[in-house]
Amino acid sequence: MNEPLRDVVIVGAGFAGMYAIHRFRGLGLDLVAVEAGTDVGGTWYWNRYPGARCDVPSIEYSFGFSEELEQTWDWPEVFSAQPDILRYANHIADKFDLRRDIRFETRICSVEYDGDANEWHLASEDGTIFRARWVVMATGCLSVPNTPTLPGAADFGGRVLHTGLWPKAPVALEGLSVGIIGTGSSGVQAIPELARQSGHLTVFQRTPVYTVPANRKAMRSEHLAVFREHYRDLRVLQQASDNGIANFNPRSLTGTTLRQGRILDLDATERRRLVEDNGLGVLVSFRDVYEDLDANETANALFREGIHALVEDPITAERLAPKTYGLGCKRQVLDRDFYTTFNRENVTLVDLLETPLERITDTGITTSQTHYELDVLIYATGFDAMTGALLKADIRGRDGRTLNAKWEDGPLNFLGLGMHGFPNLFTVTGPGSPSVLCNMLVAIEQHVNWIGECIDYCREQGVRTIEPLARSETDWAAHVNEVATGTMFTAPTCNSWYLGANIEGKPRMFMPYVGGYRRYKQRCDSVAASGYEGFEKTYQAA
């Protein structure tokens, strides 16, 4: 079944797709959005696991495009939990009547450019063909769950869950023996909750994690009132920041920077006292920890001591202490009671480096040492990040060239916004943009605004096709690589999903842009102001 030709098809109805609908409607574009889930929310729709919450303050992890939205939404906590963020997404969908342009339960399986007609054809799994002049891939950075291929996985007779595909219906775990594989952000958030809910929890850890306590404060009404009064100031500070976060302080009415001071300027006694007084979180606030290997190892060593202070059993504490990489290599994980959960009698930690997983059986997991009986097996094993959803969509550009072939050695694009050979197709928060290193909602608004203005420009100027020059892509890739070099993110000991290291066979390349949001936005703005320098355009026949 062929849908009518539209101006734009938007793929995805998470926050990026939702804002794109609203913004593009305002430009008078005829559009449709397609979404695999049954409702809006993206990440917050799929990641419903117990303990899921955001690591950016909610006042800041919110849209700035509508003052009315800002003034009428109440955040119950300073850092909100998944149900509240999903309620916010639903509120936006209701308020701006977004659902009338969204086809839910529609998964796109191919995205193909017809050069003669200058149309994109997007096929859904049910055989519908959506047709459009422009395509906006709002498919998210962490939207393709990774389930590693483990021997015997299909034999397991109990219930299997993935944190990134958690069911909508409540999952009853009371009295059950639950196993969880993975101790990244998802595992660390889920483990304390699962320990409270299940009979026994066995945590299968491969790489230990550095995690610091999350802010647990409820939103105070007087602070919310101050935020509401100063939203515009907060948005200005976000735009001037490196990560889209103002850290706006309702008492001083100023933004604060999270990284300050140098750990190497303190002596050993002062450092220990600081950790005793403030907790492990203080160790991630020093600037030199991210810039200097000695400072980094000084903080890492104190962190390991801190874990021993929190975990009663010294062998478990030693297993939980990271030793092979430093703070700042991976995205900082925030927790609520992670380390102390291992003091509970119903929790067992299995170190898969010491006793490797041999196979999954019909009743549980066998390691080189023993067999663990399980009723439920949970994968908290992350995502095929940043490129996964784009490569899965089977995108074919000019002359049938696939994105998979183009990105065989790693993602190549300009500004994380578009690819040479794929005219009129845009990516929201694509690799090569600040994306996951930025407050996602700020990054999304900036990208969607830029894309909307570009489409508007093309319509006004009679531009038939627009796409980055091949040279712009190689220059941009060199710059993205240059700014990442020398940071802890790309240290030789570092293996993270930012580098694609969590997916077998994925090319090792640091994917997000680490040069800072402000600098990045300036570049995007100057490209637009110059009439899209760095892009090649063809024009409609007169």
Binding residues for ligand N01, per CB under 6 A? 54-55, 142, 148, 181-187, 189, 206-207, 331, 334, 352, 380-383, 436, 497, 502
CB 488 within 8 A of CB 327: yes
- Beta bridge partner(s), residue 376: 159, 178
CB 41 within 8 A of CB 89: yes
Least distance (Å) from ligand N01 to the CB of residue 270?
A: 30
Least distance (Å) from ligand N01 to the CB of residue 231?
A: 22
Pick between residue 186 and residue 446 the one whose CB is nearest to ligand N01: 186
Q: How many CB atoms lie within 10 A of CB 519?
A: 12
Pairing of strands 129-137, 2-11: parallel
Pick between residue 120 and residue 204 the one whose CB is nearest to ligand N01: 204
Pick between residue 481 and residue 495 the one whose CB is nearest to ligand N01: 495
Least distance (Å) from ligand N01 to the CB of residue 462?
A: 42
* Nearest Cα to Cα of residue 496 among 205, 214, 184: 184
Least distance (Å) from ligand N01 to the CB of residue 521?
A: 21
Euclidean distance between CA atoms 305 and 231, whole angstroms: 41
Q: Which residues contact 264 (CB under 8 A, 6 or more apart)?
A: 288, 292, 294, 295, 298
Pick between residue 103 and residue 206 the one whose CB is nearest to ligand N01: 206
Pick between residue 189 and residue 446 the one whose CB is nearest to ligand N01: 189
Token output for 335:
């927790």
Pick between residue 322 and residue 411 the one whose CB is nearest to ligand N01: 322
Least distance (Å) from ligand N01 to the CB of residue 540?
A: 42
Least distance (Å) from ligand N01 to the CB of residue 130?
A: 29
Q: Would you tell me the crossing angle of helices 15-26 and 82-95 to the nearest 10 degrees? A: 20
User: What is the SS3 string spanning 452-477?
Assistant: HHHHHHHHHHCEEEEEECHHHHHHHH
Least distance (Å) from ligand N01 to the CB of residue 219?
A: 18
Burial of 139 (0-12, 13-18, 19+ CB in 10 A): buried
Pick between residue 185 and residue 427 the one whose CB is nearest to ligand N01: 185
Q: How many CB atoms lie within 10 A of CB 175?
A: 10
Amino acid at site 140: G
Token output for 22:
């609203």
* Rg, Å, the chain Cα set: 24
Least distance (Å) from ligand N01 to the CB of residue 430?
A: 16
Pick between residue 248 and residue 325 the one whose CB is nearest to ligand N01: 325
